[in-house]
Amino acid sequence: MAFAYYNRLSTAKKRIYHRSDEIHSIRLPQAVPLRPLVVKLEKALKTENKQLARSLCQRIADSMTSDLKVPKARVDVLAVRPHDETSELHGLYTREAGRQANIRLWIRTAERKKIVAFRTFLRTLLHELCHHFDYELLQFPDSLHTEGFYNRLSSLFNQLVPPKQ
């Protein structure tokens, strides 16, 4: 099923969209050793420790990129989410030729300035890493939000946060 914006894509972007939609998971060879870092990240958020959260996000990202043999991405954890009248930004992935990719995450909600819920925060980190993996691992010329993209994100999340018994 194509998302609503699909009809506005060029023919070349539609090809990328279909390639992205066909890939449903990314297997992390070393997911289990990352789980203690994920638990620590949850605690860092609960104690509102932005520096520790940034450090843990960077360690998680570094491990994942190393496992998948792709270039590293820098992770920054910032304070309050940027927003306008209709939405707020949860995360941002940027890349420039010849420079390390950058992931920005915000630890506080825009409206109430409360610490972001752990699962939302982790999903945002993984969302931005999925963009990185689209370019670096899957070699897509563009990273589009497709059903496959969201399935890959969920596959990463489920490897790092196993279902509760």
Domain housing 109: 10-159
Rounded to the nearest 10 degrees, how much is the dihedral formed by the CA atoms of 5, 107, 160, 58?
A: 100
Q: Does the residue 53 lie in any domain?
A: yes
Q: Does the residue 3 lie in any domain?
A: no
Q: Does the residue 164 lie in any domain?
A: no
Mean pLDDT of all residues in 134-152: 97
Q: What is residue 85's predicted lDDT score, i.e. its pLDDT? A: 74
What's the alpha-carbon Rg for the chain, to the nearest Å?
Answer: 16
Give 14-69 pLDDT, tens digit per residue: 999 999 999 999 999 999 999 999 999 999 999 999 999 999 999 999 999 999 99
Q: Does the residue 4 lie in any domain?
A: no
Q: What is the rounded CA–CA span in Å between residue 141 and residue 90?
A: 23
Q: What is residue 66's predicted lDDT score, i.e. its pLDDT? A: 98
Q: Does the residue 103 lie in any domain?
A: yes
Looking at every residue in the chain, the average pLDDT score rounds to 94
Q: What is residue 165's predicted lDDT score, i.e. its pLDDT? A: 55
Q: Does the residue 30 lie in any domain?
A: yes
DSSP letter assigned to residue 114: P
Q: Does the residue 115 lie in any domain?
A: yes
Q: Pick the more confident residue, 123 or 84.
A: 123
**The total number of structural domains that make up the chain:** 1
Tell me the whole-structure pTM to 2 decimals.
0.94
Per-residue pLDDT at 121 exceeds 80: yes
Query: Across-strand partners of 83?
Result: 88
Q: Does the residue 5 lie in any domain?
A: no
